[in-house]
Amino acid sequence: MSIAVSTLGLPRQLIEWVGSLPVSSAVVLIGIYILYIILGCFFDGISMMLMTLPFVYPIVLGMGFDSIWFGVLLVLVIEIALVTPPVGMNLFVVQAISGPDTSISDVFMGSFPFLVCCCIMLAVISFFPEVVSWFPRVLGMH
């Protein structure tokens, strides 16, 4: 699919279209977050990445964002999406291994504090992107 998409020039056209919109890069990022959270209601993480990255990744690079930062951000957004009701695939997995006495609402209530922490992490990483590469830079890896 990515070969067909790039042959047709869709990423380039999409980058030009997004670049021509009168919105900031923060608005585009919020749109990407919303896209993945909605897709998380219907698809697993790998499927979401396979469907969207040929379009989203060139936009992110075209906006001048770091690819490692975006990778970390994308994993975090996908994990948030997979725990978000109404579908929240990870919730059903936890319910299945918890036994027949555990309801889906019990699983959601138990995972809610972790969802809040992930949303806080997403906000921190969004507002302070250097946090993502700080530790590897300290260790001399980046």
* 17 compared with 32, residue with greater pLDDT: 32
Six-digit token string for 122: 């997403």
How far is it, in rounded angstroms, from Cα 91 to Cα 141?
35
How far is it, in rounded angstroms, from Cα 26 to Cα 37?
17
Q: Check pLDDT > 90 for residue 141.
A: no
pLDDT at 3: 66
Say which range, 2-6, 105-109, 128-132, has the weakest mean pLDDT: 2-6
In this structure, the number of other CB atoms found within 10 A of the CB of residue 120 comes to 10
Domain locations in the chain as residue ranges: 10-138
pLDDT in tens, 26-85: 888 998 999 898 888 888 888 889 888 888 888 888 888 989 899 999 999 999 998 887
Q: Give, as one character, the DSSP assignment of residue 22.
A: S
Mean pLDDT value across the chain: 84
Judge whether 84 and 37 are in contact, CB under 8 Å: yes
